[in-house]
């Protein structure tokens, strides 16, 4: 995943999780999956930023 791709993914998930319509209607396992995806996207973006910083 690219830095911009990871950033876009991690930017959209908090909005979805904060949306009361989503949080109130989504099954708990779907909400948990979104939270896990958000954490993974943030970790991937941080790793990509670190690797870019190490290059130059």
pLDDT tens for each residue of 21-51: 888 899 999 999 999 999 999 999 999 999 9
Rounded to two decimals, the pTM is: 0.69
**How many degrees, rounded to 5, is the angle at CA 9 between CA 53 and CA 12?**
125
Residues in contact with 38: Cβ distance below 8 Å, sequence separation at least 6, in sequence order: 9, 10, 13, 14, 17
Is the pLDDT assigned to residue 1 strictly greater than 70? no
Kindly report the three-state secondary structure assignment for every residue of the chain: CCHHHHHHHHHHHHHHHHCHHHHHHCCHHHHHHHHHHHHHHHHHHHHHHHHHHHHC
Delimit the domains of the chain by residue range.
3-55
Is the pLDDT assigned to residue 8 strictly greater than 50? yes
16 band by pLDDT with thresholds 50, 70 and 90: confident
Check residue 10 and give its pLDDT. Answer: 61
């Amino acid at each position: 995943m690219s830095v911009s791709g990871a950033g876009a993914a991690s930017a959209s998930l908090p909005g979805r999780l904060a949306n009361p319509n989503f949080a109130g209607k989504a099954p708990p396992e779907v909400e948990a999956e979104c939270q896990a995806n958000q954490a993974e996207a943030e970790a991937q973006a941080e790793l990509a930023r670190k690797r870019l910083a190490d290059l130059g």
